[in-house]
Amino acid sequence: MLSVISSQSAPVLQSACSGCAGAFPVAEADGRVLRHEPVSAEYRLIELAVSGAPLTAEPGQFFNLQCPTSPGEEPFLRRPMSIYGVDRAAGTISFLYKVAGMGTRAISRLPVGGTLPVLGPLGQPFELKDGWGHMVLLARGVGLATLASLCEAARERGIAVTAVLSARHRGALIARERFEAAGARVLEVLDEDGSSEPDRVRALLPSSS
């Protein structure tokens, strides 16, 4: 559950879920669009300038984004999106998304300089444990957005990463440069050449023995 601990205009909430590793701040914030562009044939990147609680987001957490509406339109439900990147020094957060319906189509029309209200960070972040020497990450499509920041966090902890990136075809593959910049060993597996079949992926993975 969430309990309100501030009644400021941008309320800050505190997580109080049983089983959570610790409380984390949650806030409603107006993000100013700094960058909004396609990054592949299917996916778009949106980068927002924010302050306060949203900049505490950790890999694995998400935000609920308020889709813009035009006059006369019914309001959309918020769209949950995993965090793609947080730059605390620059004061920005970013998301990767695919236009798949009316809500995300409305987001896709936001111009640079526009405003996108966000609520978060929400959810339990990934846990990286001391003593881990190597980690395998496997993700497909927009799921790559979630694991790119985890790969960077692993690098900071000295954990080696093998990243298996999957897509229907090479044109739909995203975020490879993020994984490579974090020092990961990157493996592409695609539907178009059959390399994404489970047995072939399994053969690529390092042995645990």
pTM of the model: 0.81
Task: Look at residue 13 and tell me whether its pLDDT is greater than 70.
Answer: no
**Sequence-separated (6 or more) residues with CB below 8 Å from residue 208:** none
For residue 74, the model assigns a pLDDT of 74
Domains of the chain (ranges plus CATH)? Answer: 2-122 (2.40.30.10), 134-204 (3.40.50.80)
Q: Measured between alpha carbons, how far is 137 from 186 in angstroms, rounded to an integer?
A: 10
- pLDDT single digits (tens) 38-79: 998 889 999 999 999 999 999 999 999 999 987 777 778 899
**Sequence-separated (6 or more) residues with CB below 8 Å from residue 77:** 67, 103
